[in-house]
């Protein structure tokens, strides 16, 4: 049985294949099962221990116990293994044993990518538990699990998952070569691994997607992408990705097509607002008032009549204050985090406006920028977009509205020249609202 399984099954580190020989009778027992989705204590209790003790004829046990089922068709072996069954060959007869294990009750709740109608659990810091839920979510015999270690001292276990039939072989070879070239002493999180795999120190946009959601991982595997699960981290890495992958939430596949389209358009509007609005405020107030209607220009001038410094200083003060509030909300203890940041934002924003240090319109602009940034569904892209507004502000100070368009043109050039493990980063493929899924509508080449 084991020799035949090696031919018909894809190689996987989590596929356990054992051959046991009884020390007294010399009888042989072959068993095969997937470790993450099977309950090993149950296997020991019902199979290995009774076979080793030989207190009762083992063939009689297999035939009389209803937990064991005789398997006559080898074509069903794949399906049985993927459904948490243990295959047993004893005296040239194959049996199956139901040992499936579900670890959903042990999973933490999703924190970064929350969903209303989708699954509420995220991955676990225990890689075996994570592999359990991934195997149950993507029950394909073509799913391959390779294992390796990263970090010379930490020796952190890393599991590489991919669909052998759909994955791009060139991309897979590129990933394996990059992983083999990592020679750091300590690698302890997927965020650190992402920077190492990226390779470019000054890369502007994230080229790997960090996710905690099981449904996103399953859909990524179905498109031929590669998923990495690391010991000690409840997040996984997905690659290769496109820019549009970061603009789609997992719920885009659950809602109606009209609501999905509306939300996607809303995210791109938010992306546009959070990137250019501070620079646009500086350009209109200081250099190009003709771009605004006359009434709006008068309102801007009137609100800034008591502000004692140029517009870019005003914008910089408010943006720095917002950045400090965001960072404090992350670092401060959770029990007082939401209260302190809310009170700090309200009181400080109101006081600074009443003191005449910033205009009332600047308060609106800052609020819009902060809210728009939170609309983006993926945290790593949200962090990148938070940075993009500052270079736009710099060129707006010197060139006005023309500088804003110059900055946007530079960003588009960066997107077009970026690659994610050989894939074009700024290439839209597919439709997220279709039945194929929401991972950017991009299946591997």
DSSP helix/strand/coil, 236? strand
Distance CA 441, CA 223 (A): 9
Q: Report the SS3 class of residue 89.
A: strand
pLDDT band, residue 442 (cuts 50/70/90): very low
Helices (H), 32-126: 40-43, 49-53, 58-64, 77-82
Q: Looking at residue 20, what DSSP letter applies?
A: E
> What are the DSSP E strand ranges found in 59-204?
68-71, 85-90, 93-98, 143-150, 156-163
At which residue do the structure tokens 């394996």 appear?
176
**Residue 365's closest CA among 290, 287, 431, 304?**
304
pLDDT class for 262, splitting at 50, 70, 90?
Answer: very high
Q: Specify whether the CB–CB gap between 102 and 132 falls below 8 A.
A: yes
**227: β partners:** 161, 238
Q: Is the CB of residue 93 less than 8 Å from the CB of residue 68? A: no
Rounded to 10°, the helix 401-417/257-286 angle is: 140
Contacts of 249 (CB under 8 A, 6+ apart): 113, 115, 263, 377, 438
Of 86-95, 200-209, 321-330, the range with the lowest mean pLDDT is: 321-330
| Of the listed ranges 144-153, 217-226, 265-274, 325-334, the one predicted with least confidence | 325-334
Q: How much is the pLDDT for 1? A: 80
Which of 127-136, 322-331, 429-438 holds the top average pLDDT? 127-136
**Are the C-beta atoms of residues 199 and 422 closer than 8 Å to each other?**
no
Region 87-106 average pLDDT: 85
How many angstroms from the chain centroid is the CA of residue 190?
10
Three-state secondary-structure class, residue 230: strand
Residue 233 near residue 431 (C-beta atoms within 8 A): no
Residues 6+ positions from 259 with CB-CB distance below 8 Å: none
Q: Is the pTM of this model over 0.85?
A: no
The predicted pLDDT at position 430 comes to 45
| 221-242 average pLDDT score | 92
Q: Which two tokens stand for residue 402?
A: 């023309």
The token pair that represents 277 in the structure block: 């609005």
Q: Which pLDDT does position 342 carry in this prediction?
A: 61
> Per-residue pLDDT tens for 306-319?
788 888 888 888 88
pLDDT of residue 346: 64
Q: Give the bridge partners for 66, in sequence order.
A: none
Mean pLDDT of 383-397: 92
pLDDT score recorded for residue 271: 94
Q: Are 103 and 133 in contact, with CB atoms under 8 Å apart?
A: yes
Distance in angstroms (rounded) separating the CA atoms of residues 418 and 202: 12
What count of residues does the chain have? 445
Tokens (6 digits) for 35: 């470790």
Q: What angle do CA 183, 189, 190 make, to 5 degrees?
A: 90
Rounded distance between C-alpha atoms, residue 234 and residue 138, angstroms: 18
Sign of CA dihedral 329, 332, 333, 337: negative
Mean pLDDT over all residues of the chain? Answer: 84
Give, for 170, the enclosing helix (H) or strand (E).
helix 169-180
pLDDT at 229 over 90: yes
Q: What is the pLDDT of residue 240?
A: 92
Give the count of beta carbons closer than 10 Å to the beta carbon of residue 33: 27
CA distances from 36 to 80, 81, 220 (A): 15, 11, 20
Concatenating the DSSP letter of every residue in 254-296 gives TS-HHHHHHHHHHHHHHHHHHHHHHHHHHHHHHT-GGGS-HHH
Return d(Cα 223, Cα 79) in angstroms, integer: 21
Backbone angles phi, psi at 96, to 5 degrees: -120, 150
Q: Are 134 and 161 in contact (CB under 8 A)?
A: yes
Comparing CA positions, the residue from 15, 141, 170 lying closest to residue 86 is 15
**331 vs 436, residue with greater confidence:** 331
Segment 171-186, tens digit of pLDDT = 999 999 999 888 888 8
If pLDDT is split at 50, 70 and 90, which confidence band does 334 have? Answer: low
Instruction: Kindly give the pairing relationship between strand 226-230 and strand 93-98.
Output: unpaired
Q: For 37-77, write each residue's pLDDT tens digit.
A: 888 888 888 888 888 887 778 888 888 888 888 888 888 88
Q: Determine the pLDDT at residue 288.
A: 80
Distant-in-sequence, close-in-space partners of 106: CB < 8 Å, separation ≥ 6: 124, 129
Residue 393: its pLDDT value, please? 92
Domain positions in the chain are: 2-98, 106-239, 255-424
């Amino acid at each position: 049985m084991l020799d035949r399984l090696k031919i018909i099954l894809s190689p996987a580190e989590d596929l356990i294949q054992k051959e046991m020989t009884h020390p007294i009778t010399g009888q042989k027992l072959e068993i095969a099962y997937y470790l993450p989705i099977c309950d090993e204590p149950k296997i020991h209790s019902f199979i290995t221990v009774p076979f080793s003790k030989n207190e009762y004829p083992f063939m009689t046990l297999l035939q009389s116990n209803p937990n064991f089922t005789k398997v006559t068709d080898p074509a069903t072996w794949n399906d049985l293994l993927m459904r948490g069954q243990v295959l047993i060959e004893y005296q040239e007869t194959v049996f199956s044993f139901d040992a499936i294990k579900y670890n959903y009750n042990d999973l933490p709740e999703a924190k970064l990518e929350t969903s209303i109608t989708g699954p509420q659990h995220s991955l676990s810091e225990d890689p075996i538990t994570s592999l359990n839920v991934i195997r149950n979510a993507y029950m394909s015999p073509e799913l391959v699990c390779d294992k390796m270690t990263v970090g010379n001292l930490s020796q952190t276990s890393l599991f590489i998952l991919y669909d052998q039939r759909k994955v791009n072989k060139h991309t897979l070879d590129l990933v394996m070569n990059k992983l083999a070239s990592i020679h750091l002493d300590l690698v302890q999180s997927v965020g650190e691994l992402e920077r190492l795999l990226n390779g470019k120190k000054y890369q502007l946009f994230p080229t790997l997607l960090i996710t905690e959601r099981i449904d996103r991982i399953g859909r990524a595997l179905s498109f031929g992408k590669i998923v990495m699960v690391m010991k000690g981290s409840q997040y996984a890495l997905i690659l290769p990705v496109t820019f549009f992958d970061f603009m789609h939430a997992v719920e885009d596949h659950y809602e109606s097509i009209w609501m999905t389209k509306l939300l996607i358009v809303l995210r791109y509007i938010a992306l546009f607002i959070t990137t250019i609005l501070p620079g646009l405020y500086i350009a209109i107030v200081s250099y190009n008032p003709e771009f605004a209607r006359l009434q709006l220009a008068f309102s801007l001038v009137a609100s800034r009549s008591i502000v004692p410094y140029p517009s870019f200083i005003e914008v910089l003060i408010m943006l720095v204050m917002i950045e400090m509030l965001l960072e404090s909300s992350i670092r401060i203890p959770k029990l007082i985090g939401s209260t302190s940041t809310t009170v700090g934002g309200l009181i400080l924003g109101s006081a600074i406006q009443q003191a005449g240090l910033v205009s009332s319109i600047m308060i609106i602009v800052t609020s819009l920028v902060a809210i728009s940034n939170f609309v983006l569904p993926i945290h790593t892209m949200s962090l990148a977009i938070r940075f993009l507004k500052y270079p736009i502000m710099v060129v707006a100070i010197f060139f006005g509205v023309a500088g804003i368009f110059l900055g946007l043109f530079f960003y588009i050039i960066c997107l077009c020249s970026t690659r994610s493990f050989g894939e074009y980063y700024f290439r839209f493929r597919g439709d997220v609202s279709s039945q194929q899924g929401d991972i950017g509508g991009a299946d591997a080449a």
